[in-house]
Structure 1
Amino acid sequence: MRTSDGEWVVARLRSHGRALFWPTLLLLLVSGGIGFGYGRLPEEWQNLAILGAAALIVLVGCVGPWVRWMARTITITSERIILRSGVLVRERQEVRHSRIEEVAVRRSGLQLVFATGDVLLHTGASRPVVLRDVSSPKLVAEAIDDLVDDAPGEDWDDDEYDADGDFPETSIR
């Protein structure tokens, strides 16, 4: 897919779906609890209070984490990497391929089990930009490394060099 300024979208990523394991388990437990407990109390308002509490638990414990997971995206284009996150306050971070000096992969024990990991993009700043918990991190790192190798440097200018690739002679008057 091509963007409006001539870039190619290489990949769109999210963090691994295991981040939704606990919210899904909570949804199942709340559903089971409602199925078991609703209608067992003598007063109707007590049954409605159980429904209200369950709705609040599902909203905070299931819908909230799902919306946060859906709001965090990584887009890799032919020229840059764009990280977007946030629900109420949107944050956008861009890293141009020409700024990336090194690409590394970091994996914890749990990430090894699920074949995920963190891809670290070293740009020369004090802290690297981290693509957290992506699936197939080695493949992502290799793809970014290939894109970085193909990207010209920041000070690249085709007009500065002659046909032989040498810097042309200029005279100062």
Structure 2
Amino acid sequence: MLSSDLPVSEYNPYYHTYIKALGDVHLLDSLEEGKNDFSSFMEEFPEEKLNYSYAEEKWTLAEVLMHIIDAERVFQYRALRFARNDNTPLAGFDQDVYVPESNASRKTKKGIQDEYQAVRNATISLFKSFDDSALKRIGFASDSPMSTRAIGFIICGHQAHHLKIIRERYI
């Protein structure tokens, strides 16, 4: 499954920049590469940077990393529901409510890395279990149609987007 196979009708236009920024990638390869990129990134900075914020009212590095993890969990759940043909519309989530509740300031670099690895490994396992029919199923989240396969690419693009910002503004 390549990102070029994904019609824009299968996701909210809000996510287009995430998906387009990936280039033409294979979904499972992109999930694996994202896992490796995150691990390499975690080696780039000292632990003292976790509570750094590049401007007032901006999230700390630890909060951004936890946001990546939390968002992946939410998207993973959506993918499971859609793949299993659950047609119940799903509400959105407010990232600004989630971030303070993540207790990011109390987490260690290793703790964040371990949590990320567990979540990404579960995502990879989940997407490996889907056949073509399940990947193409459409559900509704945040009042928009979304396919299971689009969710996989959104997970990859969302992480890449935030790691780019982190490298530009935090490190």
Larger Rg: 1
TM-score (norm 2): 0.27
TM-score (norm 1): 0.27
Structure 1 or 2: more strand by fraction: 1
Q: Greater RCO between the two (CA within 8 Å, min separation 6)? A: 2
